[in-house]
Amino acid sequence: MKTVSFTDFRKNASGFIAEVEHGETIILLRRGKPVAEVVPFSEEAKHTPAWKKPRLRLKLQGIDLTSAILQERDETR
């Protein structure tokens, strides 16, 4: 893993991208703090974002909320 300032990366991007193509991981720093990680592309292990992962679904007995609201509106007319 290599650490590079953002300015240096901009000036020598082609060389750094060549290193990434050969398996190197590069951490970009801006003002001394890490802001990005440049890693080699991988077809095999694509990470699924947490918001796309299936979650637990609760199933309750009775009518759903939409139906309950519509029913209450009809009763108040």
pLDDT value at residue 39: 93
Element containing residue 75 per DSSP (H, E): helix 65-76
Q: What are the sequence ranges of the domains in the chain?
A: 1-42
pLDDT at residue number 45: 63
Alpha-carbon distances of 61 from 56, 58, 66, 75, rounded to whole Å:
16, 10, 14, 21
Architecture of domain 1-42: 3-Layer(aba) Sandwich (3.40)
pLDDT digits (tens, 9 = 90+) for 22-76: 999 999 999 999 999 999 988 766 777 788 888 887 777 888 888 888 999 998 8
pTM: 0.56
pLDDT in tens, 11-24: 999 999 999 999 99
